Chain A
Amino acid sequence: MEKPVMVDVRDVTMEFNMSSYKVDSLKEYFIRLMKHELFFKSFLALDGVSFQVRKGDVLGLIGLNGSGKSTMLKIISGIMKPTKGSATAYGTISPLIELGAGFDADLTARENIYLNGSILGYSRQFMDSVFDEIVDFSELHNFLDIPIKNFSSGMQARLGFAIATVVKPDILIVDEVLAVGDFKFQEKCEKRIRELMSNETTVIIVSHSIEQIESLCNKVLWLNKGKVVKYGDALAICDEYKNA
C-alpha cells in the first residue's frame, strides 16, 4: 500500500519581475518614470514543477546556484505564493530557521526559546512542556540567562536546531542549516533527523553537500534553471548529478 501524500506540488511556476535596477524608493520610482525606464524583465525561477512527497520520505533538492531550490522550499512552506499552480502541504510544517533569524540578540536564551517557539506558532503551554528537552539537546544549561549576543554562532545554531526539531512536525524543512557548527554538532543533527524519519516525519532538505544528501535522503529532486531534470531514487540521481 502506498503511503499518503504529504506534499503535493502541481505545475508550480514562479515568475519574478526583475527590473534591471531594483526600484524600492519613491524618489527612484519617479525618476525612472520620468525617464521611461520602468520596464520589467520577467524571470522564471520555477517553470512547471510537479512532484509529490509521501509520508516518511526524505527528499533532497539538488541543483546549481539559482536553480530554484530555495524558491521551491519557500513555496512549500507558504512563505511565497506561486504565480501559477499550487503547492499543498498536508500537516504541520516546521522550518529550520537559519541561524539567528528568529532570535533577538538582547534577550536571554531562555526568553529566546519562548520567542522562537511562538514564531513557529507554538503555544506557551507547549513551550513549557518541551523547554527542558530543548535545553538538554542544545547543552546550554549554564547559559540560559545570558543574552544571545554573547553566544558563539555554534551555540546559536544548536539552540535554533533544538527548538525547530523538538516538535515532531509532519514536515520538516531544512535549508542549508546543517552546514554550520562543528562536526560533532552536525553528527548530532543528522542523528536527530534520522530519529524524526523513523517517526514518519517527512523531511525536505536543500544542501550543497551531495554526500549529506546521499546519506540522508531516499528521494531526490534535481532542478536546473527552474525545471525538473530528474525526480526519483536518491542514489541513482546523485551519481548522475556528480557526473554531470
Chain B
Amino acid sequence: MLKAYIETFQKYKYLLENLIMRDIKVKYRRSVLGVAWSLLNPLLMMFILSAVFSRVFRYEIENFPLYLIIGQILFSFFNESTSSAIFSIVEASSLIKKVYIPKYIFPLEKVLFGFVNLIFSIPAVVVMMLFYRVPFNLSMLTIFLPLLTLLLFAIGFSLIISALCVFFRDLKHLYSVLITAWMYLTPIIYPMSALEGSWIWYVARINPLTWYVESFRNALIYGTMPDLLSCWVCIGYGVVFTLVGLLSFKKLQDKFILYV
C-alpha cells in the first residue's frame, strides 16, 4: 500500500518540479531584478517597519531590524504558501477533470514554491547579521530544525484547507481575514514579553508559528542551542499536521471531481 504511494510520487515528482519551475519563471519573467526581489522585498519591508515601530514601542529589542526580518520572512512564507495553496485545487480544475493526477501535488507545489522563495530571501537575513556583526556560532546550524518542521506544518495545513476549499469556496475570503489575525498573534514585531499578563499571551503561546519564529531567532540572533521543549513542539506540530492533512485529504479527494 505505502509502496504504491511512493511509486506514484516518484512518477509525478517530475511534474512537481516542472510546476515549481513554472511558478518561478512566471513570477520572475520580465522583471529586471529577477530573483533579487526576494531579497529586496523583506529588506525594504524591514526598513519601513523598524523605522515606524522602533518609535512606537517602548520595549528594547536588541538589533530590532534583524529581529523583525526573521519573523517577517518566516511569516510571509507561511502566508504566501497557504494563501495560494487554499485555492490550488479549484484552480487546477480544468486539469483534474481531464487527466488523472494525484491531487495533493497542487497544494504541495504551492508550499514548496513558497519555500523556494523563503530560501531566496535568507541572504537578506545574512546581510543583516553581517551588518550587526552577530558572531558566528555553531548553534546557528540548528535553524534546519525550525525551517524543515515549519515546512511540514505548512504542507499539512495547506492539505487541509485546500481540500475544504473545494467544498466551501468562500473559505478563501475567510482565510484572508484569519491570516491577518494570525499575523498579529505571532510575535513578529513585538516580543512575547509584551503580552504577559493577558489572555492573548496564551493564544500566542499555542500558535505554532510563535514556536518556529522563536526557535529560528534563538539560533540566529542569540546563538543558543534549542531547548528540548521547543524541539518537540516544532516537530510535534509539523508531524501531527502533516499526518492529519494527509489522512483528511485522502478521505476527501475522491469527491473533488464532483465539486470542482
Docked complex Cα distance between A160 and B25 (Å): 21
Residues of B within 8 A of A120 (CB): 99
Q: A99 CB to closest chain B CB, in angstroms?
A: 10
B99 contacts A79, CB within 8 Å?
yes
B22 contacts A124, CB within 8 Å?
no
Nearest neighbor of A126 in chain B, beta-carbon distance: B14
Answer yes or no: A101 CB below 8 A from chain B CBs. yes
Choose one: B26, B100, B170; the contact of A79 (CB below 8 Å).
Answer: B100
Q: B89 CB to closest chain A CB, in angstroms?
A: 13
Q: A170 CB to closest chain B CB, in angstroms?
A: 15
Answer yes or no: B247 CB below 8 A from chain A CBs. no
Nearest neighbor of A124 in chain B, beta-carbon distance: B14
Q: Mark B14-49, 1 if CB is under 8 A from A, else 0.
A: 110111001001100100000000000000000000
- Say what secondary structure dominates the interface of chain B: helix
Q: A8 CB to closest chain B CB, in angstroms?
A: 17
Q: How many residues of A are counted as interface, with CB atoms below 8 angstroms from the partner's CB atoms?
A: 33
Interface contact tally, CB-CB below 8 A = 75
Answer yes or no: B167 CB below 8 A from chain A CBs. yes
Nearest neighbor of B260 in chain A, beta-carbon distance: A24
A24 contacts B100, CB within 8 Å?
no
A78 contacts B100, CB within 8 Å?
yes
Residues of A within 8 A of B15 (CB): 118-119, 121
Answer yes or no: A123 CB below 8 A from chain B CBs. yes
Q: Tell whether A107 pairs with B94 under 8 Å between CB atoms, given A78-B100, A121-B12.
A: no
Residues of A within 8 A of B12 (CB): 118, 121
Residues of B within 8 A of A122 (CB): 14
Q: A56 CB to closest chain B CB, in angstroms?
A: 23
Answer yes or no: B250 CB below 8 A from chain A CBs. no
Q: Tell whether A115 pairs with B99 under 8 Å between CB atoms, given A25-B170, A123-B14.
A: no
Answer yes or no: B11 CB below 8 A from chain A CBs. yes
Answer yes or no: B96 CB below 8 A from chain A CBs. yes
Q: How many residues of B are counted as interface, with CB atoms below 8 angstroms from the partner's CB atoms?
A: 29
A119 contacts B168, CB within 8 Å?
no
A115 contacts B22, CB within 8 Å?
yes
A104 contacts B22, CB within 8 Å?
yes
Q: Tell whether A25 pairs with B95 under 8 Å between CB atoms, given A118-B15, A118-B18.
A: no
Interface-facing stretch out of B145-153, B209-217, B251-259: B251-259
Residues of A within 8 A of B26 (CB): 104, 106-107
Answer yes or no: B101 CB below 8 A from chain A CBs. yes
Q: Tell whether A25 pairs with B168 under 8 Å between CB atoms, given A97-B98, A107-B25.
A: yes
Q: Mark B93-124, 1 if CB is under 8 A from A, else 0.
A: 01111111100000000000000000000000
Nearest neighbor of A105 in chain B, beta-carbon distance: B26
Residues of B within 8 A of A118 (CB): 12, 14-15, 17-18
Docked complex Cα distance between A175 and B170 (Å): 32
Residues of A within 8 A of B96 (CB): 79
B170 contacts A121, CB within 8 Å?
no
B22 contacts A101, CB within 8 Å?
no
Answer yes or no: A190 CB below 8 A from chain B CBs. no
Q: Mark A99-138, 1 if CB is under 8 A from B, else 0.
A: 0011010110001001100111111100000000000000
Docked complex Cα distance between A77 and B97 (Å): 10
Docked complex Cα distance between A95 and B254 (Å): 19
Q: Which has the most chain A C-beta neighbours within 10 Å: B11, B15, B26, B170?
A: B15
B95 contacts A119, CB within 8 Å?
yes
Nearest neighbor of A100 in chain B, beta-carbon distance: B94
Residues of A within 8 A of B29 (CB): 106
Residues of B within 8 A of A101 (CB): 94-95, 97-99
A115 contacts B18, CB within 8 Å?
yes
Nearest neighbor of B90 in chain A, beta-carbon distance: A24
Docked complex Cα distance between A79 and B19 (Å): 20
Answer yes or no: B225 CB below 8 A from chain A CBs. no
Nearest neighbor of A125 in chain B, beta-carbon distance: B14
B257 contacts A79, CB within 8 Å?
yes
B257 contacts A102, CB within 8 Å?
no
Residues of A whose CB lies within 8 Å of any CB of B are 16-17, 24-27, 29, 74, 77-81, 93, 95, 97-98, 101-102, 104, 106-107, 111, 114-115, 118-124, 175
New contact pairs (18) apart from A102-B95, A119-B101, A124-B14, CB-CB < 8 Å: A25-B168, A29-B168, A74-B97, A74-B257, A77-B100, A79-B257, A80-B257, A81-B254, A95-B99, A97-B95, A97-B98, A101-B97, A101-B99, A104-B26, A111-B22, A111-B25, A115-B19, A122-B14
